[in-house]
Chains A and B, each alone.
Chain A
Amino acid sequence: GAGVSQSPSNKVTEKGKDVELRCDPISGHTALYWYRQSLGQGLEFLIYFQGNSAPDKSGLPSDRFSAERTGGSVSTLTIQRTQQEDSAVYLCASSFIGDLRAFFGQGTRLTVV
């Protein structure tokens, strides 16, 4: 597709379960970002990929969070042993290197019950 695609769009999971969130960036975009948007909050940076490498993981809130990117394209954000405070909208964005604009996907709304 022409835009950043994220799946699933909605995910309800039980506390303690693991979840995987997928991001399919715009073709050719080498930079990929994950952000988290909680109710009433701004966007919180989680992790940045340059190609398949993640030079900046400083935003990951705990070691339950991890992410990978393969083939310089699709990225997966994994949350292990989910907690209720993980409930949020997880947004992915991509851009060309040196491009000042990042294009965002529609997000995955995660609800931990």
Chain B
Amino acid sequence: ELKVEQNPLFLSMQEGKNYTIYCNYSTTSDRLYWYRQDPGKSLESLFVLLSNGAVKQEGRLMASLDTKARLSTLHITAAVHDLSATYFCAVDILRSSGYSTLTFGKGTMLLVSP
């Protein structure tokens, strides 16, 4: 059974600080996604990582993928309040049906305070 584990599940940080969220998964996959969810809102796609060593950056967020270690990281640089949200990683897995679906981690709730 595929497991996708994120840590930490809750992160409280001050503005201006740096931190990393980790996403480990238990089976082979070359495609990993990061989503953001604001309270009461839907999921917004942040990054799609397609290969080993892939790195993508958008503003203060940078995501990377190590398929050999089955690990992705989401690094936050100089956090600001607007980054407060829940962040999910998801792994694209080929199911026995022959189709791919996303398996999600439990999410990391990030709270950035002044």
Residues of B within 8 A of A50 (CB): 99
Q: Is A102 an interface residue (CB 8 A)?
A: yes
Closest residue to B107 on the A side, CB-wise? A42
Taking a contact as CB atoms under 8 Å apart, the answer to whether A107 and B99 are in contact is: no
- On chain B, the residues within 8 Å of A43 by CB distance are 43, 88, 90, 102, 104
Q: Which residues of B contact A102 (CB under 8 A)?
A: 45, 102
Contact yes or no, B106 A91, CB < 8 A: no
Contact B88 A55 (CB under 8 A): no
Interface size on B, residues (CB 8 A): 27
B41 within 8 A of A: yes
Q: Verify B48–A100 contact, CB threshold 8 A.
A: yes
Q: Which of A40, A41, A91 contacts B42 (CB 8 A)?
A: A91
Does B97 count as interface, using CB distance less than 8 angstroms?
yes
Chain B positions 95 through 106: 1 when the CB is less than 8 Å from some CB of chain A, otherwise 0: 111110111111
Q: Which of B44, B101, B102, B103: most chain A CB closer than 10 A?
A: B101
With contact pairs A43-B88, A100-B50 given, residues A58 and B4 touching in the complex (Cβ less than 8 Å): no
A105–B99 CB distance below 8 A? no
Would you call A96 an interface residue if the criterion is a C-beta within 8 Å of the partner chain's C-beta atoms? no
Choose among B4, B102, B104, B106 the residue that contacts A40 (Cβ–Cβ < 8 A): B106
B48 surroundings in chain A (CB, below 8 A): 100-101
Interface size class of A (residues with CB under 8 A): 20 to 34
Chain A CB within 8 A of B75 CB: no
* B31 interfacial contact with A, CB 8 Å: yes
Q: Is the CB of A45 within 8 A of B42?
A: no
Structural contact, B88 and A42, CB atoms closer than 8 A: yes
Binding site for A on B (CB under 8 A): 4, 31, 33, 35, 40-45, 48, 50, 88, 90, 92, 95-99, 101-107
Query: 9 extra interchain contacts, Cβ-Cβ under 8 A, other than A33-B102, A45-B103?
Result: A42-B88, A42-B107, A43-B90, A48-B97, A48-B101, A50-B99, A100-B31, A102-B45, A103-B45
A contacts, CB < 8 Å to B = 4, 33, 35, 40-45, 48, 50, 55-56, 58-59, 91, 93, 100-107
What 4 A-B pairs are tightest by C-beta distance, nearest first?
A: A56-B97, A43-B104, A42-B104, A42-B106
